[in-house]
Amino acid sequence: MNVISQQVTICNKLGLHARAATKLAQLSQKFSAQITLELAGKEADASSIMALMLLAGGQGKIVNITAQGEDAQLALAEICQLISDKFDEAE
């Protein structure tokens, strides 16, 4: 099984709040890969809005994203891009 991971810093002002978590979950659901976010020893399924919000990922926090499955590479790339793009939010 293809398992890859990458660390990325949350750089938007509000962090992993409701709108950002929703965007991330919707993006994750497009892939067949299993995607997990890990922050400060807590893990969350990237397709679950509630789980993502419970991570309390604030600005400047580093999250480790792990993807496994057929389209893991693409899923990881797109999720890292979304976070790097500050969830497309105007700050």
The CATH number of residue 30's host domain is 3.30.1340.10
Which among 4, 14, 17, 38 is annotated as catalytic? 17
pTM (two decimals):
0.93
Taking a C-beta distance cutoff of 8 angstroms, is the pair 2, 76 a contact?
no
- Catalytic residue status for 11: no
Domain of 12? 3-88
User: Tens-of-pLDDT digits for all 91 residues of the chain?
Assistant: 689 999 999 999 999 999 999 999 999 999 999 999 999 999 999 999 999 999 999 999 999 999 999 999 999 999 999 999 999 988 7
Amino acid in the structure at residue 73: Q
- Work out the angle at residue 10's Cα, subtended by the Cα atoms of residues 7 and 13, and round it to the nearest 5 degrees: 175
Number of domains, the chain = 1
DSSP category for residue 16 = S
